[in-house]
Chains A and B, each alone.
Chain A
Protein backbone atom coordinates (compact mmCIF):
# COMPACT_ATOMS: atom_id res chain seq x y z
CA UNK A 1 0.00 0.00 0.00
CA UNK A 2 2.83 2.32 0.90
CA UNK A 3 4.06 2.01 -2.68
CA UNK A 4 0.70 2.96 -4.18
CA UNK A 5 0.39 5.98 -1.92
CA UNK A 6 3.87 7.04 -2.90
CA UNK A 7 2.91 6.78 -6.58
CA UNK A 8 0.75 9.86 -6.13
CA UNK A 9 2.71 11.74 -3.50
CA UNK A 10 6.38 11.20 -4.38
CA UNK A 11 7.04 13.26 -7.50
CA UNK A 12 9.57 10.96 -9.17
CA UNK A 13 7.24 7.98 -8.77
CA UNK A 14 4.34 10.00 -10.11
CA UNK A 15 6.40 11.04 -13.11
CA UNK A 16 7.42 7.42 -13.60
CA UNK A 17 3.77 6.40 -13.55
CA UNK A 18 2.80 9.04 -16.12
CA UNK A 19 5.74 8.15 -18.37
CA UNK A 20 4.73 4.49 -18.07
CA UNK A 21 1.16 5.35 -19.01
CA UNK A 22 2.25 7.24 -22.12
CA UNK A 23 4.68 4.48 -23.04
CA UNK A 24 1.85 1.95 -22.74
CA UNK A 25 -0.37 3.83 -25.15
CA UNK A 26 2.50 4.06 -27.63
CA UNK A 27 3.19 0.35 -27.20
CA UNK A 28 -0.43 -0.43 -27.86
CA UNK A 29 -0.89 1.67 -30.97
CA UNK A 30 2.52 1.59 -32.66
CA UNK A 31 3.43 -1.86 -31.37
CA UNK A 32 0.36 -3.36 -33.04
CA UNK A 33 1.31 -1.76 -36.37
CA UNK A 34 4.91 -2.95 -36.01
CA UNK A 35 3.77 -6.49 -35.22
CA UNK A 36 1.31 -6.82 -38.11
CA UNK A 37 3.74 -5.19 -40.55
CA UNK A 38 6.49 -7.48 -39.19
CA UNK A 39 9.08 -4.75 -38.89
CA UNK A 40 10.42 -5.40 -35.39
CA UNK A 41 13.90 -5.58 -36.84
CA UNK A 42 13.51 -2.20 -38.56
CA UNK A 43 12.33 -0.74 -35.27
CA UNK A 44 15.31 -2.34 -33.54
CA UNK A 45 17.69 -0.71 -35.98
CA UNK A 46 16.09 2.71 -35.45
CA UNK A 47 16.18 2.30 -31.67
CA UNK A 48 19.80 1.23 -31.48
CA UNK A 49 21.07 3.78 -33.95
CA UNK A 50 19.85 6.64 -31.72
CA UNK A 51 22.67 5.97 -29.29
CA UNK A 52 24.70 7.93 -31.81
CA UNK A 53 22.43 10.92 -31.28
CA UNK A 54 22.66 10.60 -27.54
CA UNK A 55 26.45 10.43 -27.63
CA UNK A 56 26.69 13.52 -29.83
CA UNK A 57 24.20 15.36 -27.62
CA UNK A 58 26.32 14.62 -24.55
CA UNK A 59 29.43 15.72 -26.34
CA UNK A 60 27.82 19.00 -27.44
CA UNK A 61 26.17 19.37 -24.04
CA UNK A 62 22.63 19.65 -25.41
CA UNK A 63 19.50 17.73 -24.38
CA UNK A 64 19.86 14.00 -25.14
CA UNK A 65 16.17 13.92 -26.07
CA UNK A 66 16.96 16.25 -28.99
CA UNK A 67 19.82 13.94 -29.98
CA UNK A 68 17.53 10.91 -29.84
CA UNK A 69 14.84 12.68 -31.80
CA UNK A 70 17.13 13.85 -34.62
CA UNK A 71 18.89 10.49 -34.96
CA UNK A 72 15.67 8.47 -34.81
CA UNK A 73 13.99 10.49 -37.56
CA UNK A 74 17.17 10.53 -39.63
CA UNK A 75 17.49 6.74 -39.35
CA UNK A 76 13.81 6.28 -40.26
CA UNK A 77 14.20 8.39 -43.41
CA UNK A 78 17.38 6.65 -44.52
CA UNK A 79 16.00 3.17 -43.92
CA UNK A 80 12.88 4.02 -45.90
CA UNK A 81 14.89 5.40 -48.82
CA UNK A 82 17.09 2.29 -48.86
CA UNK A 83 14.03 0.02 -48.80
CA UNK A 84 12.60 1.84 -51.83
CA UNK A 85 15.83 1.51 -53.79
CA UNK A 86 15.92 -2.21 -52.93
CA UNK A 87 19.35 -2.71 -54.45
CA UNK A 88 20.91 -3.89 -51.21
CA UNK A 89 19.90 -6.66 -48.88
CA UNK A 90 17.67 -4.88 -46.35
CA UNK A 91 18.78 -7.04 -43.42
CA UNK A 92 22.42 -6.18 -43.94
CA UNK A 93 21.71 -2.46 -44.23
CA UNK A 94 19.66 -2.56 -41.03
CA UNK A 95 22.40 -4.38 -39.15
CA UNK A 96 24.85 -1.73 -40.33
CA UNK A 97 22.59 1.06 -39.01
CA UNK A 98 22.20 -0.79 -35.75
CA UNK A 99 25.95 -1.10 -35.25
CA UNK A 100 27.13 2.25 -36.67
CA UNK A 101 24.70 4.21 -34.52
CA UNK A 102 25.83 2.48 -31.36
CA UNK A 103 29.50 2.84 -32.28
CA UNK A 104 29.13 6.59 -32.92
CA UNK A 105 27.40 6.90 -29.55
CA UNK A 106 30.18 5.11 -27.71
CA UNK A 107 32.88 7.15 -29.49
CA UNK A 108 31.31 10.49 -28.57
CA UNK A 109 30.57 9.38 -25.02
CA UNK A 110 34.16 8.29 -24.53
CA UNK A 111 35.24 11.80 -25.60
CA UNK A 112 32.93 13.35 -22.99
CA UNK A 113 34.11 13.28 -19.37
CA UNK A 114 31.90 11.47 -16.82
CA UNK A 115 29.80 9.56 -19.34
CA UNK A 116 29.52 6.18 -17.65
CA UNK A 117 26.38 6.40 -15.56
CA UNK A 118 24.55 8.22 -18.34
CA UNK A 119 25.40 5.52 -20.83
CA UNK A 120 23.89 2.85 -18.59
CA UNK A 121 20.79 4.92 -18.09
CA UNK A 122 20.26 5.28 -21.83
CA UNK A 123 21.03 1.66 -22.60
CA UNK A 124 18.76 0.26 -19.94
CA UNK A 125 16.56 3.24 -19.15
CA UNK A 126 15.68 4.81 -15.86
CA UNK A 127 12.05 5.62 -15.56
CA UNK A 128 12.69 7.06 -12.07
CA UNK A 129 14.74 9.89 -13.60
CA UNK A 130 11.92 11.23 -15.81
CA UNK A 131 11.48 14.96 -15.18
CA UNK A 132 8.37 17.06 -15.58
CA UNK A 133 9.89 18.70 -18.68
CA UNK A 134 10.43 15.22 -20.12
CA UNK A 135 6.78 14.45 -19.48
CA UNK A 136 5.61 17.44 -21.48
CA UNK A 137 7.74 16.55 -24.47
CA UNK A 138 6.57 12.95 -24.23
CA UNK A 139 2.96 14.15 -24.17
CA UNK A 140 3.55 16.27 -27.29
CA UNK A 141 5.07 13.30 -29.14
CA UNK A 142 2.25 11.02 -28.05
CA UNK A 143 -0.25 13.55 -29.33
CA UNK A 144 1.45 13.69 -32.75
CA UNK A 145 1.53 9.88 -32.97
CA UNK A 146 -2.14 9.42 -32.09
CA UNK A 147 -3.40 12.14 -34.44
CA UNK A 148 -1.34 10.79 -37.34
CA UNK A 149 -2.51 7.22 -36.81
CA UNK A 150 -6.14 8.33 -36.59
CA UNK A 151 -5.91 10.34 -39.81
CA UNK A 152 -4.10 7.66 -41.82
CA UNK A 153 -5.52 4.56 -40.12
CA UNK A 154 -7.28 2.95 -43.12
CA UNK A 155 -4.43 3.80 -45.46
CA UNK A 156 -1.88 2.32 -43.06
CA UNK A 157 -3.86 -0.91 -42.77
CA UNK A 158 -4.29 -1.15 -46.54
CA UNK A 159 -0.56 -0.55 -47.08
CA UNK A 160 0.38 -3.12 -44.43
CA UNK A 161 -2.06 -5.75 -45.71
CA UNK A 162 -1.32 -5.49 -49.42
CA UNK A 163 1.25 -2.99 -50.61
CA UNK A 164 0.88 -3.90 -54.27
CA UNK A 165 -2.88 -3.43 -54.27
CA UNK A 166 -2.66 -0.19 -52.30
CA UNK A 167 -0.23 1.10 -54.90
CA UNK A 168 -2.71 0.28 -57.68
CA UNK A 169 -5.32 2.31 -55.83
CA UNK A 170 -2.93 5.28 -55.95
CA UNK A 171 -2.31 5.15 -52.23
CA UNK A 172 1.09 6.71 -51.57
CA UNK A 173 2.71 3.55 -50.26
CA UNK A 174 6.25 4.93 -50.02
CA UNK A 175 5.07 8.02 -48.20
CA UNK A 176 3.02 5.92 -45.76
CA UNK A 177 5.92 3.56 -45.08
CA UNK A 178 8.22 6.51 -44.38
CA UNK A 179 5.56 8.05 -42.16
CA UNK A 180 5.17 4.77 -40.28
CA UNK A 181 8.92 4.60 -39.66
CA UNK A 182 8.95 8.21 -38.46
CA UNK A 183 6.13 7.41 -36.04
CA UNK A 184 8.14 4.42 -34.84
CA UNK A 185 11.15 6.65 -34.32
CA UNK A 186 9.01 9.05 -32.26
CA UNK A 187 7.80 6.07 -30.23
CA UNK A 188 11.38 5.04 -29.69
CA UNK A 189 12.14 8.49 -28.28
CA UNK A 190 9.35 8.02 -25.73
CA UNK A 191 10.10 4.42 -24.86
CA UNK A 192 13.82 4.98 -24.35
CA UNK A 193 13.02 7.11 -21.31
CA UNK A 194 11.23 4.15 -19.79
CA UNK A 195 13.23 1.05 -20.65
CA UNK A 196 16.29 2.22 -22.55
CA UNK A 197 17.64 1.44 -25.99
CA UNK A 198 18.41 -2.24 -25.48
CA UNK A 199 14.93 -3.06 -24.28
CA UNK A 200 12.85 -0.69 -26.35
CA UNK A 201 11.99 -3.26 -29.01
CA UNK A 202 10.71 -5.63 -26.36
CA UNK A 203 8.37 -3.03 -24.93
CA UNK A 204 7.21 -2.00 -28.40
CA UNK A 205 6.49 -5.51 -29.64
CA UNK A 206 5.80 -7.81 -26.66
CA UNK A 207 2.49 -6.33 -25.43
CA UNK A 208 1.24 -6.17 -29.03
CA UNK A 209 2.37 -9.72 -29.74
CA UNK A 210 0.61 -10.98 -26.59
CA UNK A 211 -2.46 -9.01 -27.56
CA UNK A 212 -2.44 -10.52 -31.04
CA UNK A 213 -2.77 -13.99 -29.53
CA UNK A 214 -6.21 -13.08 -28.19
CA UNK A 215 -7.52 -10.41 -30.52
CA UNK A 216 -8.73 -10.79 -34.05
CA UNK A 217 -9.04 -7.09 -34.90
CA UNK A 218 -6.32 -4.45 -34.98
CA UNK A 219 -8.41 -2.10 -32.82
CA UNK A 220 -8.71 -4.80 -30.16
CA UNK A 221 -5.00 -5.49 -30.45
CA UNK A 222 -4.17 -1.82 -29.86
CA UNK A 223 -6.49 -1.52 -26.86
CA UNK A 224 -5.30 -4.68 -25.13
CA UNK A 225 -1.66 -4.05 -25.90
CA UNK A 226 -2.00 -0.64 -24.20
CA UNK A 227 -3.65 -2.20 -21.15
CA UNK A 228 -1.02 -4.94 -20.99
CA UNK A 229 1.76 -2.38 -21.38
CA UNK A 230 0.35 -0.43 -18.43
CA UNK A 231 0.05 -3.58 -16.30
CA UNK A 232 3.66 -4.57 -17.04
CA UNK A 233 4.91 -1.05 -16.34
CA UNK A 234 3.05 -0.80 -13.02
CA UNK A 235 4.03 -4.29 -11.91
CA UNK A 236 7.60 -3.59 -12.96
CA UNK A 237 7.71 -0.34 -11.01
CA UNK A 238 6.29 -2.03 -7.94
CA UNK A 239 8.55 -5.09 -8.07
CA UNK A 240 11.66 -3.07 -8.75
CA UNK A 241 10.74 -0.79 -5.83
CA UNK A 242 10.25 -3.78 -3.51
CA UNK A 243 13.31 -5.69 -4.62
CA UNK A 244 15.53 -2.72 -5.46
CA UNK A 245 16.08 -3.81 -9.07
CA UNK A 246 16.37 -1.79 -12.33
CA UNK A 247 12.82 -0.99 -13.41
CA UNK A 248 13.17 -1.29 -17.20
CA UNK A 249 14.69 -4.75 -16.98
CA UNK A 250 11.99 -5.96 -14.58
CA UNK A 251 9.27 -4.66 -16.94
CA UNK A 252 10.79 -6.51 -19.87
CA UNK A 253 11.31 -9.77 -17.98
CA UNK A 254 7.63 -9.69 -16.98
CA UNK A 255 6.43 -8.95 -20.52
CA UNK A 256 8.82 -11.43 -22.11
CA UNK A 257 7.96 -14.33 -19.79
CA UNK A 258 4.25 -13.63 -20.22
CA UNK A 259 4.56 -13.66 -23.99
CA UNK A 260 6.61 -16.83 -24.17
CA UNK A 261 4.39 -18.79 -21.77
CA UNK A 262 1.18 -17.69 -23.48
CA UNK A 263 2.55 -18.38 -26.95
CA UNK A 264 3.62 -21.86 -25.83
CA UNK A 265 0.26 -22.51 -24.18
CA UNK A 266 -1.56 -21.40 -27.30
CA UNK A 267 0.47 -23.60 -29.62
CA UNK A 268 -0.52 -26.68 -27.55
Chain B
Protein backbone atom coordinates (compact mmCIF):
# COMPACT_ATOMS: atom_id res chain seq x y z
CA UNK B 1 0.00 0.00 0.00
CA UNK B 2 1.42 3.35 -1.03
CA UNK B 3 1.33 5.87 1.82
CA UNK B 4 3.14 8.69 0.07
CA UNK B 5 3.46 9.17 -3.65
CA UNK B 6 5.12 11.99 -5.57
CA UNK B 7 4.37 12.24 -9.29
CA UNK B 8 6.49 14.66 -11.34
CA UNK B 9 6.75 17.10 -8.46
CA UNK B 10 8.79 20.26 -8.90
CA UNK B 11 9.25 23.09 -6.49
CA UNK B 12 10.93 26.48 -6.61
CA UNK B 13 11.14 29.24 -4.00
CA UNK B 14 12.09 31.81 -6.62
CA UNK B 15 13.25 31.50 -10.22
CA UNK B 16 15.82 28.74 -9.62
CA UNK B 17 14.33 25.29 -9.01
CA UNK B 18 14.87 23.61 -5.64
CA UNK B 19 13.40 20.25 -6.63
CA UNK B 20 12.90 18.96 -10.19
CA UNK B 21 10.65 16.12 -11.40
CA UNK B 22 10.55 14.19 -8.17
CA UNK B 23 8.99 10.73 -8.41
CA UNK B 24 8.91 8.22 -5.60
CA UNK B 25 6.58 6.26 -3.43
CA UNK B 26 6.76 5.14 0.17
CA UNK B 27 5.05 1.88 1.10
CA UNK B 28 3.74 0.79 4.43
CA UNK B 29 6.57 -0.20 6.82
CA UNK B 30 9.27 1.30 4.66
CA UNK B 31 12.27 2.75 6.46
CA UNK B 32 13.60 5.49 4.21
CA UNK B 33 16.72 7.61 4.56
CA UNK B 34 16.85 10.89 2.69
CA UNK B 35 20.45 11.93 2.11
CA UNK B 36 22.08 14.65 0.10
CA UNK B 37 24.21 17.78 0.31
CA UNK B 38 23.13 20.86 2.26
CA UNK B 39 20.83 23.00 0.17
CA UNK B 40 20.00 19.98 -2.00
CA UNK B 41 16.31 20.18 -1.10
CA UNK B 42 15.97 17.64 1.74
CA UNK B 43 14.10 20.00 4.04
CA UNK B 44 11.95 21.25 1.20
CA UNK B 45 10.98 17.66 0.44
CA UNK B 46 9.87 17.17 4.07
CA UNK B 47 7.90 20.42 3.98
CA UNK B 48 6.11 19.26 0.83
CA UNK B 49 5.12 15.98 2.51
CA UNK B 50 3.95 17.88 5.60
CA UNK B 51 1.89 20.23 3.38
CA UNK B 52 3.75 23.27 4.67
CA UNK B 53 4.60 24.04 1.05
CA UNK B 54 2.61 23.36 -2.09
CA UNK B 55 4.36 21.93 -5.18
CA UNK B 56 4.86 24.26 -8.15
CA UNK B 57 4.10 21.34 -10.45
CA UNK B 58 3.01 17.70 -10.11
CA UNK B 59 0.89 15.90 -7.54
CA UNK B 60 1.50 14.62 -4.05
CA UNK B 61 -0.76 11.83 -2.83
CA UNK B 62 -0.76 11.00 0.88
CA UNK B 63 -2.80 8.07 2.21
CA UNK B 64 -4.42 7.94 -1.23
CA UNK B 65 -5.64 11.52 -0.89
CA UNK B 66 -4.42 14.27 -3.22
CA UNK B 67 -5.60 17.00 -0.87
CA UNK B 68 -4.38 15.49 2.35
CA UNK B 69 -4.28 18.33 4.88
CA UNK B 70 -5.01 16.67 8.20
CA UNK B 71 -1.57 15.97 9.57
CA UNK B 72 -2.49 13.87 12.57
CA UNK B 73 -1.26 10.66 11.00
CA UNK B 74 2.06 12.23 10.12
CA UNK B 75 4.38 12.42 13.14
CA UNK B 76 7.11 15.02 12.81
CA UNK B 77 10.39 15.16 14.76
CA UNK B 78 12.32 18.38 14.12
CA UNK B 79 15.97 18.94 14.98
CA UNK B 80 16.40 19.92 18.60
CA UNK B 81 18.98 22.50 17.61
CA UNK B 82 16.14 24.82 16.62
CA UNK B 83 14.73 24.93 20.16
CA UNK B 84 15.91 26.68 23.30
CA UNK B 85 17.67 23.99 25.33
CA UNK B 86 16.74 25.58 28.62
CA UNK B 87 13.10 26.26 27.78
CA UNK B 88 11.17 26.21 31.08
CA UNK B 89 9.00 23.22 30.30
CA UNK B 90 8.67 19.76 31.82
CA UNK B 91 9.37 16.76 29.61
CA UNK B 92 5.85 15.38 29.95
CA UNK B 93 4.26 18.75 29.18
CA UNK B 94 6.36 19.08 26.06
CA UNK B 95 5.25 15.62 24.90
CA UNK B 96 1.60 16.42 25.63
CA UNK B 97 1.77 19.51 23.40
CA UNK B 98 1.15 17.09 20.58
CA UNK B 99 -2.41 16.72 21.87
CA UNK B 100 -3.14 20.43 21.46
CA UNK B 101 -5.46 21.54 18.68
CA UNK B 102 -6.71 24.93 17.63
CA UNK B 103 -9.65 24.58 20.02
CA UNK B 104 -7.60 23.57 23.06
CA UNK B 105 -8.56 26.24 25.56
CA UNK B 106 -7.76 26.33 29.26
CA UNK B 107 -5.20 23.99 30.69
CA UNK B 108 -6.23 20.39 31.19
CA UNK B 109 -5.03 17.31 29.38
CA UNK B 110 -7.11 14.16 29.77
CA UNK B 111 -6.06 11.27 32.00
CA UNK B 112 -5.77 8.98 28.96
CA UNK B 113 -3.42 11.42 27.25
CA UNK B 114 -1.21 11.58 30.33
CA UNK B 115 -1.15 7.79 30.65
CA UNK B 116 -0.34 7.38 26.99
CA UNK B 117 2.49 9.92 27.28
CA UNK B 118 3.93 8.09 30.28
CA UNK B 119 3.71 4.80 28.42
CA UNK B 120 5.56 6.17 25.39
CA UNK B 121 8.25 7.78 27.54
CA UNK B 122 8.78 4.41 29.24
CA UNK B 123 9.04 2.69 25.89
CA UNK B 124 11.70 5.21 24.86
CA UNK B 125 13.47 4.58 28.19
CA UNK B 126 13.02 8.13 29.48
CA UNK B 127 10.00 7.38 31.68
CA UNK B 128 11.88 8.20 34.87
CA UNK B 129 12.64 11.72 33.64
CA UNK B 130 9.07 12.68 32.81
CA UNK B 131 8.84 15.39 35.47
CA UNK B 132 12.24 16.84 34.73
CA UNK B 133 12.65 20.12 32.91
CA UNK B 134 14.14 20.19 29.42
CA UNK B 135 17.20 22.00 30.75
CA UNK B 136 17.95 18.94 32.90
CA UNK B 137 18.04 16.47 30.00
CA UNK B 138 20.96 15.32 27.88
CA UNK B 139 21.01 15.72 24.11
CA UNK B 140 19.96 12.11 23.55
CA UNK B 141 17.13 12.37 26.08
CA UNK B 142 15.87 15.53 24.40
CA UNK B 143 15.90 13.85 21.03
CA UNK B 144 13.88 10.93 22.41
CA UNK B 145 11.51 13.43 23.98
CA UNK B 146 10.83 14.88 20.54
CA UNK B 147 10.23 11.38 19.16
CA UNK B 148 7.82 10.74 22.05
CA UNK B 149 5.97 13.96 21.24
CA UNK B 150 5.44 12.78 17.67
CA UNK B 151 4.42 9.26 18.73
CA UNK B 152 1.70 10.26 21.17
CA UNK B 153 -0.65 11.03 18.27
CA UNK B 154 -0.19 7.45 16.95
CA UNK B 155 1.14 8.45 13.54
CA UNK B 156 1.25 6.06 10.60
CA UNK B 157 4.35 7.76 9.26
CA UNK B 158 7.13 9.15 11.40
CA UNK B 159 9.21 11.87 9.76
CA UNK B 160 12.50 12.84 11.39
CA UNK B 161 14.82 15.69 10.43
CA UNK B 162 18.40 14.66 11.33
CA UNK B 163 17.46 12.93 14.59
CA UNK B 164 21.08 12.27 15.48
CA UNK B 165 22.65 15.56 14.45
CA UNK B 166 23.56 16.66 17.98
CA UNK B 167 24.23 13.39 19.81
CA UNK B 168 27.26 11.15 20.19
CA UNK B 169 27.71 7.83 18.45
CA UNK B 170 26.41 5.53 21.21
CA UNK B 171 23.22 7.59 21.52
CA UNK B 172 22.92 7.55 17.76
CA UNK B 173 23.02 3.75 17.85
CA UNK B 174 20.31 3.73 20.57
CA UNK B 175 18.04 6.03 18.60
CA UNK B 176 18.34 3.93 15.46
CA UNK B 177 17.62 0.78 17.46
CA UNK B 178 14.47 2.44 18.81
CA UNK B 179 13.46 3.48 15.30
CA UNK B 180 14.07 -0.05 14.00
CA UNK B 181 11.75 -1.36 16.70
CA UNK B 182 9.10 1.28 15.90
CA UNK B 183 9.38 0.42 12.24
CA UNK B 184 7.52 -2.85 12.86
CA UNK B 185 4.32 -0.80 13.06
CA UNK B 186 5.21 2.60 11.67
CA UNK B 187 6.60 3.78 8.36
CA UNK B 188 9.71 5.87 8.93
CA UNK B 189 11.26 8.61 6.85
CA UNK B 190 14.37 10.38 8.05
CA UNK B 191 16.83 12.95 6.83
CA UNK B 192 20.45 12.18 7.63
CA UNK B 193 24.00 12.99 6.63
CA UNK B 194 25.43 9.61 7.42
CA UNK B 195 24.42 7.18 4.71
CA UNK B 196 26.83 4.40 5.74
CA UNK B 197 25.57 4.38 9.29
CA UNK B 198 21.86 4.15 8.44
CA UNK B 199 22.30 1.61 5.69
CA UNK B 200 22.10 -1.16 8.31
CA UNK B 201 18.62 -0.02 9.27
CA UNK B 202 16.85 1.35 6.22
CA UNK B 203 15.38 -0.39 3.20
CA UNK B 204 15.41 2.62 0.87
CA UNK B 205 17.78 5.51 0.36
CA UNK B 206 16.63 8.66 -1.46
CA UNK B 207 19.43 10.84 -2.70
CA UNK B 208 18.16 14.38 -3.03
CA UNK B 209 20.13 16.98 -4.88
CA UNK B 210 17.51 18.87 -6.86
CA UNK B 211 16.73 15.52 -8.46
CA UNK B 212 15.84 12.43 -6.51
CA UNK B 213 17.41 9.02 -7.00
CA UNK B 214 15.79 6.18 -5.11
CA UNK B 215 17.85 3.15 -4.11
CA UNK B 216 16.44 -0.06 -2.71
CA UNK B 217 18.62 -1.75 -0.13
CA UNK B 218 16.33 -4.74 0.35
CA UNK B 219 18.58 -6.96 -1.69
CA UNK B 220 21.62 -5.99 0.35
CA UNK B 221 21.87 -8.22 3.37
CA UNK B 222 24.49 -8.91 5.99
CA UNK B 223 25.39 -12.04 4.09
CA UNK B 224 26.48 -10.08 1.10
CA UNK B 225 30.13 -9.95 0.51
CA UNK B 226 31.63 -6.82 1.99
CA UNK B 227 32.86 -5.98 -1.46
CA UNK B 228 29.36 -5.88 -2.95
CA UNK B 229 28.15 -3.79 -0.07
CA UNK B 230 30.99 -1.30 -0.31
CA UNK B 231 30.46 -1.01 -4.01
CA UNK B 232 26.77 -0.17 -3.65
CA UNK B 233 27.51 2.36 -0.92
CA UNK B 234 30.11 3.96 -3.10
CA UNK B 235 27.65 4.22 -5.94
CA UNK B 236 24.97 5.69 -3.72
CA UNK B 237 27.38 8.21 -2.25
CA UNK B 238 28.57 9.14 -5.68
CA UNK B 239 25.03 9.69 -6.96
CA UNK B 240 24.14 11.67 -3.87
CA UNK B 241 27.12 13.94 -4.36
CA UNK B 242 28.45 13.04 -0.91
Contact = CB atoms under 8 A, between A and B. Distances in A.
A88 B189 CA distance: 34
A158 B93 CA distance: 10
B88 A171 contact: no
B83 A152 contact: no
Which applies to chain B's interface (DSSP): helix, strand, loop or mixed? Answer: loop
Contact of A166 (B93, B100, B106, B107): B100
Given A161-B94, A164-B78, A152 B105 contact: yes
B50 A168 contact: yes
Interface in A40-75: none
A92 B105 CA distance: 35
Interface residues of B, number: 28
Given A166-B100, A167-B52, A168-B50, A151 B88 contact: no
Contacts of B88: 36, 212, 215-218, 220-221
B89 A161 contact: yes
Interface residues of A, number: 27
A171 B87 CA distance: 20
B110 interface: no
A217 B92 CA distance: 13
A162 B83 contact: yes
Contact of A217 (B52, B84, B133): B133
Contacts of A169: 71, 97-98, 100-101
Contacts of A154: 97, 100, 104, 106-107
A241 interface: no
B78 A171 contact: no
A227 interface: no
Interface in A156-176: 157-158, 161-162, 164-172
15 contacts: A150-B106, A153-B107, A155-B100, A155-B105, A162-B83, A164-B82, A165-B149, A167-B52, A169-B71, A169-B100, A171-B101, A215-B88, A216-B88, A217-B90, A220-B88
Interface of A: 36, 150-155, 157-158, 161-162, 164-172, 212, 215-218, 220-221
Given A36-B88, A158-B100, 13 more contacts: A150-B106, A151-B105, A154-B97, A157-B97, A161-B87, A161-B89, A162-B82, A165-B78, A166-B100, A168-B50, A168-B71, A168-B76, A217-B90
Interface of B: 50, 52, 71, 74, 76, 78, 82-84, 87-90, 93-94, 97-98, 100-102, 104-107, 133, 135-136, 149
